[in-house]
Amino acid sequence: MPVALITGASAGLGKALAAALVSRKWTVIGDGRDAAALTAAAREAGFTPVPGDVADPAHRADLAAAAGPSLDLLVNNASTLGVSPLPPLGRYPLAELEDVYRVNVFAPLALTQLLLPALTKTGGTIVGVSSDAAVEAYEGWGGYGSAKAALDQLTAVLGTEHPDLAVYAVDPGDMRTAMHQLAFPGEDISDRPLPGASVPAFLRLLDERPASGRYRAADLLAPA
């Protein structure tokens, strides 16, 4: 039975992807900062919860221990938006920006470093969840977008350095999530698709295992 570790699995895309993999008979380990929300999500989706903050080295060690000696899939999904409402870079509080990079860039790399031996043993897959803000210059998105751009580059280099692994940065597109609502406080985001709509794109990557690189869910879901 293949094993996956998904960070940020208490809600949104992480929870939806965990549920999809469990339905495919995967063993899934998920983490999240809100222990109560993670436990409820794990009970509903059928995965193993390991509550904690991925930016905490002790928690990352717990995740590595839970994953065990071999791992088939790591999904670096946990992230933080940063300041809401989104401020321009000229007024972005640097302490808050450091936290965005700590969660969105440094933590995924640190967790990947811990899990590389287990992933190498299976010739596994690493997925970094990206955003269109990583490649487009949107007003107010400089903090989050630049962190996702950094994660994209780390993911790309890992793919080059580890050719036996499948390493993907995936932009799922806009989603109706709590974090997306934080980016647009007071606005109606009900027109955005639910996170589950992009899950088939991630499953296609796992099924077809194309070359390592950056992919958009919209392209993976488009008719041939």
Active-site hit among 92, 101, 144, 215:
144
DSSP per position, the chain:
--EEEESS-SSHHHHHHHHHHHHTT-EEEEEES-HHHHHHHHHHHT-EEEES-TTSHHHHHHHHHHH-S--SEEEE------SSSPPPGGG--HHHHHHHHIIIIIHHHHHHHHHHHHHHHHT-EEEEE--GGGTS--TT-HHHHHHHHHHHHHHHHHHHH-TTSEEEEEE------HHHHHHSTTS--TTSPPGGGGHHHHHHHHHH---SEEEEHHHHHS--
- Catalytic status, residue 215: no
Hey, which residues are catalytic here? 144
